[in-house]
C-alpha cells in the first residue's frame, strides 16, 4: 500500500467520509488547503448526499483528476478533453476492479462492515489516481 493510501485510511479512521479521505490525501499534490478539500468533498459522503449513488471514493478521485488536469480556463477544449479522458480511465478502472461505481451495490448487505469494505474502495481510488495520473505507464514500456 502506498503512503498516500495509508494517509487516506488514517483519515477514514478519523471519520472522514470516503470522498474526503481520497481528496485530502492529495492536498499537498494539488496545492489546495486540506480544510477546503474536506469541505468541498463533504456532500459526496455515503454515495452523494447519503443517497448511495456514485461511490464517494471514486468521486474524490475524479475531483483530484480535475484539479490536476484542468487548465482552469473556460472554453479550453484540450483541458476539457484531457480531464474527461482521465475521469473515464479512473471510473472504468474502478468499476472493472470493484464491479460497480454505485455505493449501494458496493456496500451490499453481504459486503460486511461498512468501514472495512469502504476502506478498500478508498485505497483503490487513491492507487488509481497515482497509477493513471501521477505515474502513468507509457505504452510499450517493459515495466511489469
| Segment 5-63, tens digit of pLDDT | 999 999 999 999 999 999 999 999 999 999 999 999 999 999 999 999 999 999 999 99
Q: If you search the block for the grid coordinates 497509477, which residue do you land on?
A: 131
* 139: in domain: no
- Is residue 54 in some structural domain? yes
Give a yes or no: residue 141 inside a domain.
no
- Establish if 53 belongs to a structural domain: yes
C-alpha–C-alpha distance, residues 132 and 138, integer Å: 10
Residue in the structure block whose three cell numbers are 478519523: 14
Backbone angles phi, psi at 65, to 5 degrees: -55, -45
Q: Is the sign of the CA dihedral 115, 116, 117, 121 positive or negative?
A: positive
Q: Give the model's confidence band at 137: pLDDT under 50 very low, under 70 low, under 90 confident, else very high.
A: confident
**How far is it, in rounded angstroms, from Cα 136 to Cα 13?**
29
In a domain, residue 85? The reply is yes
Q: Look at residue 12 and tell me if it is in a domain.
A: yes
Q: How many domains does the chain have?
A: 1
DSSP state of 137: P
| Of 70, 53, 66, 69, the residue nearest 18 (C-alpha) | 53
**Phi, psi (rounded to 5 degrees) for 9:** -70, -35
Residue 83 lies in a domain: yes
Residue 65 placed within a domain: yes
Please say whether the beta carbons of 5 and 25 come within 8 A. yes
pLDDT > 70: what percent of the chain?
91
Give the pLDDT band (50/70/90) at residue 113: low
What is the value of pTM for the model shown? 0.92
pLDDT band at 140 (very low <50, low <70, confident <90, very high): low
Domain housing 95? 3-132
Amino acid at each position: 500500500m502506498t503512503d498516500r493510501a495509508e494517509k487516506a485510511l488514517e483519515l477514514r479512521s478519523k471519520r472522514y467520509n470516503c470522498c474526503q479521505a481520497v481528496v485530502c490525501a492529495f492536498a499537498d499534490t494539488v496545492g489546495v488547503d486540506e480544510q477546503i478539500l474536506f469541505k468541498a468533498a463533504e456532500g459526496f459522503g455515503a454515495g452523494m448526499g447519503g443517497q448511495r449513488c456514485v461511490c464517494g471514493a471514486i468521486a474524490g478521485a475524479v475531483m483530484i483528476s480535475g484539479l490536476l488536469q484542468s487548465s482552469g480556463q473556460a472554453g479550453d477544449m484540450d483541458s476539457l478533453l484531457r480531464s474527461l479522458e482521465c475521469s473515464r480511465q479512473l471510473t472504468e478502472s474502478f468499476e472493472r476492479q470493484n464491479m460497480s461505481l454505485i455505493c449501494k451495490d458496493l456496500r451490499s448487505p453481504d459486503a460486511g462492515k461498512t468501514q472495512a469494505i469502504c476502506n478498500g474502495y478508498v485505497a483503490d481510488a487513491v492507487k488509481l489516481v497515482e497509477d493513471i495520473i501521477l505515474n502513468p505507464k507509457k505504452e510499450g514500456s517493459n515495466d511489469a
